[in-house]
Amino acid sequence: MLNQLQRDILRLKKEKNAIILAHNYQRREIQEIADFKGDSLELCVEASRIEGKDIVVFCGVDFMAETAYILNPDKKILIPDRGAECPMAHMLSAEDVRMARKRYPDAAVVLYVNTLAEAKAEADILCTSANAVRVVESLDEDLVLFGPDRNLAWYVQQHTDKTVIPIPEEGHCYVHKMFTAGDVMAAREKYPEAELLIHPECDPEVQELADHILSTGGMLRRVLESDGESFIIGTEVDMSTRISLESDKRTIPLLEEAICENMKLHTLEKVKNSLINEEFVVTVPDEIARRARRAVERMIEVSK
Ligand code: 13P
Ligand code: SF4
């Protein structure tokens, strides 16, 4: 049963001919009113398909809303809280990428979608945690500059014969860095029958203990397909909320404190204000958007 605020948002959404996209880490009450929920790749693909809408309200972080704009420059892209930035996406600048290219002129540049548009414009192709290995394997080059998440670079290196060089040295997600091997062992002991699903943004010693290493969308699919009845979820806490909207199986967050404060800046009040005032508008300068679009579209093509 939706509350009054949620019903207001649904009415405004219709009046404004808007669509609401939400990442899997959004609060439950936002997930409940979203038209589409997903991981970074699913949101990119969905953004590339939007037709017949004037406004996209993006309940996610800055790089996701920018990507929606890059794929829909004719639409108004709104983010309910302008402060919803992904710290990892700010760890690699366009200049850093240009300098790395100078050092390794024969390397391909693969950037995680968790980058700002200026950096994306310098990439040969983008990737997400759902398709990173496939993207790297699709390249002709044997040397790959990969950033900004060092742990995802490590994961890719375990699954390819190519040489993967992380840029910058220490790019990371502060949420996934919270998990330790000790947390995993304690959870295993407490829930011996549960499957352990871990996100590739986690440290290598945590990944090494996983039953499956998956993007958030991959985690949801695994829970739905598996014969198992309980799952330890090694990613942001609201991934369990997302799964609970689709399945009655038991999910146990690996760490209750693993909260992405940046994602949580969006609230129902802010989503409503966003629709009423048509704020905050996200845009990208034309030339940067044009160059970044090539890298996004190339990734979507490889992921088909
Ligand atoms: P996915 O949802 O693509 O797995 O990514 C997780 C994340 O941290 C997004 O910022
Ligand atoms: Fe960025 Fe990590 Fe939050 Fe994802 S969970 S938005 S990578 S800080």
Please indicate whether residue 178, judged by its CB atom, sits closer than 6 Å to ligand 2: no
H-state helical runs in 200-279: 204-207, 216-225, 238-244, 268-277
Binding residue per annotation — 274?
A: no
Q: What is the pTM of this model?
A: 0.97
Of 277, 299, 287, the residue nearest 70 (C-alpha) = 287
State residue 4 phi and psi, 5-degree precision.
Answer: -60, -45
Output the pLDDT for position 168: 98
Q: Is 204 exposed, middle or buried (0-12, 13-18, 19+ CB in 10 A)?
A: middle
Ligand 2 atom having least distance to the Cα of 88 = 1
pLDDT in tens, 170-191: 999 999 999 999 999 999 999 9
**C-alpha R_g of the chain:** 19
Tokens of 200: 């590739």
Please indicate whether residue 40, judged by its CB atom, sits closer than 6 Å to ligand 1: yes
Binding residue per annotation — 200?
A: yes
Ligand 2 atom having least distance to the Cα of 114 = 7
Please indicate whether residue 77, judged by its CB atom, sits closer than 6 Å to ligand 2: no
For the CA of 173, the nearest ligand = 2
Output the pLDDT for position 167: 98
How far is the centre of ligand 1, averaged over its atoms, from the C-alpha of 60 (Å)? 10
> CA end-to-end span of the chain, whole Å?
37
Q: Which helix (H) or strand (E) holds 127?
A: strand 125-127
Output the pLDDT for position 178: 98
How far is the centre of ligand 1, averaged over its atoms, from the C-alpha of 273 (Å)? 26
Superfamily of domain 89-172: NadA-like (3.40.50.10800)
151's CB contacts (< 8 A; 6+ apart) are 172, 173, 176, 200, 201, 202, 203, 204, 207
Please indicate whether residue 237, judged by its CB atom, sits closer than 6 Å to ligand 2: no
Tokens of 198: 């871990």
How far is the centre of ligand 2, averaged over its atoms, from the C-alpha of 74 (Å)? 27
Instruction: For the chain, 304 residues long, give each residue's pLDDT as a single digit of tens.
Output: 999 999 999 999 999 999 999 999 999 999 999 999 999 999 999 999 999 999 999 999 999 999 999 999 999 999 999 999 999 999 999 999 999 999 999 999 999 999 999 999 999 999 999 999 999 999 999 999 999 999 999 999 999 999 999 999 999 999 999 999 999 999 999 999 999 999 999 999 999 999 999 999 999 999 999 999 999 999 999 999 999 999 999 999 999 999 999 999 999 999 999 999 999 999 999 999 999 999 999 999 999 8
Task: List the chain domain ranges.
Answer: 4-85+263-286, 89-172, 176-253
CATH 3.40.640.10 fits 176-253, yes or no: no
State residue 268 phi and psi, 5-degree precision.
Answer: -60, -40
Output the pLDDT for position 199: 98
Q: Give the architecture (CATH level 2) of 4-85+263-286.
A: 3-Layer(aba) Sandwich (3.40)
Q: Do domains 4-85+263-286 and 89-172 have the same CATH topology?
A: yes
Binding residue per annotation — 235?
A: no
Cα torsion for 266, 271, 276, 279, to the nearest 10°? 40
Output the pLDDT for position 38: 98
pLDDT in tens, 58-82: 999 999 999 999 999 999 999 999 9
